[in-house]
């Protein structure tokens, strides 16, 4: 507000309302009205004020809000606090819905975002018309909500294989896969698998060794930036240590590690699925594709933070 600016600049100059009044050739009561917003200065007074404050008239009149400073936001603390509050319509609430919908949809879930939101908010499923939903889609959506909560609880702790296995166990609990003995929920795969349309991954016999190497490399880093988190993700997905659910586990790890290292986290959008898969496929030759997809997702999450916390 113009009045607030006049007062701020006046105080910065260590001047009284009487001193300003003398310069403008008005009464001190008029200056008081300027600062309260009850009266606006005429153009001549605006020119004198701008000269006095050593700014342009445009700067004085510009009512643009102070730019949102994302660096002042501790996202982990905010998400934890809002989780404990159990209130709807906040960053935590939208993170849960957006994360579960997008990460599961990338993997083929048929649930809509509205149905995902309904499950989170009411613990029931919303059906419309002749809509048919797979039980596993519903279970894995509900499980993902639990997974995010657990991830927030351990977000500031060191990433370990035991933690990663617990992530997988939570995600797949109660699903059809969990009833198949060889599927090995919460443990590494026993049968070969692929990424997307047939990209080969580490053989089951070598998973333990490759995961150990990956964790040794990652936990030996002196500094972790978003670049190293993306690198870890590529290596993790190349190993594909679990029989199923690797993409979702890999993406929750990225979110966790961003929070741990005070980096704005991100949620890969289903709409960017093809760019994401291309990034993984081409990573050895061109790291920029995957990095750009992740950074774009980060920009989207910053907008979400700004909307709920500004």
What are the pLDDT digits (tens) for 8-45?
888 888 999 999 999 998 898 999 989 998 888 888 88
* 79-125: pLDDT as tens digits: 999 999 988 899 999 999 999 999 999 999 999 999 999 999 999 98
Which of 198 and 307 is assigned the larger pLDDT?
A: 307
* 181-202: pLDDT as tens digits: 899 899 999 999 988 757 889 9
Backbone dihedral region for residue 236 (phi beyond 0: left; psi -120 to 50: alpha; all else: beta): alpha
pTM metric for this prediction: 0.79
d(CA 35, CA 83): 41
Residue recorded with tokens 């692929």: 194
Q: What is the mean pLDDT of residues 273-280?
A: 95
Least confident piece of the model among 50-64, 158-172, 177-191, 281-295: 50-64
Is the pLDDT assigned to residue 252 strictly greater than 60? yes
* 118-164: pLDDT as tens digits: 999 999 987 776 677 789 999 999 999 999 999 999 999 999 999 99
Is the pLDDT assigned to residue 64 strictly greater than 70? no
Q: Quote the pLDDT of residue 76.
A: 97
> Which helix or strand (DSSP H or E) is residue 194 part of?
strand 194-195
* 206-236: pLDDT as tens digits: 999 999 999 999 999 999 999 999 999 999 9
Residue intervals in the chain for CATH 1.10.260.40:
2-61
Give 194's strand partners: 200
Those residues whose C-beta lies under 8 Å from the C-beta of residue 102, and which sit 6 or more positions away, are 267, 268, 269, 270
* 286-303: pLDDT as tens digits: 999 999 999 999 999 999
Q: Which CATH superfamily is domain 71-309 in?
A: Fido-like domain (1.10.3290.10)
Instruction: Identify the architecture of domain 2-61 in CATH.
Output: Orthogonal Bundle (1.10)
Residue recorded with tokens 């008005």: 26
């Amino acid at each position: 507000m113009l009045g607030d600016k006049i007062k701020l600049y006046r105080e910065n100059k260590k001047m009284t309302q009487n001193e300003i009044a003398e310069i403008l050739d008005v009464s001190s009561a008029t200056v008081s009205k300027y600062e309260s917003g009850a009266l606006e200065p005429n153009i001549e007074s605006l020119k004198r004020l701008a000269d006095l404050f050593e700014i342009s008239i445009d700067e004085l009149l510009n009512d643009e809000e102070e730019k949102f400073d994302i660096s002042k936001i501790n996202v982990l603390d905010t998400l934890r606090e809002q989780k404990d509050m159990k209130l709807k319509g906040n960053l935590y609430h939208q993170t849960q819905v957006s994360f579960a919908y997008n990460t599961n949809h990338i993997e083929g879930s048929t649930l809509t975002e509205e149905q995902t939101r309904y499950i989170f908010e009411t613990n029931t499923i919303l059906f419309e018309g002749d809509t048919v939903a797979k039980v596993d889609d519903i279970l894995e959506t509900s499980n993902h909500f639990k997974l995010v909560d657990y991830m927030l609880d351990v977000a500031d702790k060191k990433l370990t294989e035991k933690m990663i296995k617990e992530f997988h166990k939570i995600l797949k609990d109660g699903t059809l896969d969990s009833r198949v003995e060889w599927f090995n929920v919460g443990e590494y795969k026993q049968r070969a698998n692929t990424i997307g349309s047939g990209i080969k991954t580490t053989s089951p016999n070598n998973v333990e060794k490759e995961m150990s190497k990956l964790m040794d490399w990652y936990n030996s880093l002196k500094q972790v930036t978003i670049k190293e988190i993306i690198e870890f993700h590529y290596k993790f997905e190349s190993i594909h240590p679990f029989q199923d659910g690797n993409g979702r586990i890999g993406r929750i790890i990225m979110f966790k590690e961003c929070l741990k290292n005070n980096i704005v986290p991100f949620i890969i959008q289903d709409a960017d699925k093809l760019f994401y898969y291309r990034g993984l496929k081409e990573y050895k030759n061109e790291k920029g594709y995957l990095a750009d997809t992740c950074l774009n997702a980060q920009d989207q999450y910053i907008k979400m933070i700004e909307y709920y916390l500004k």
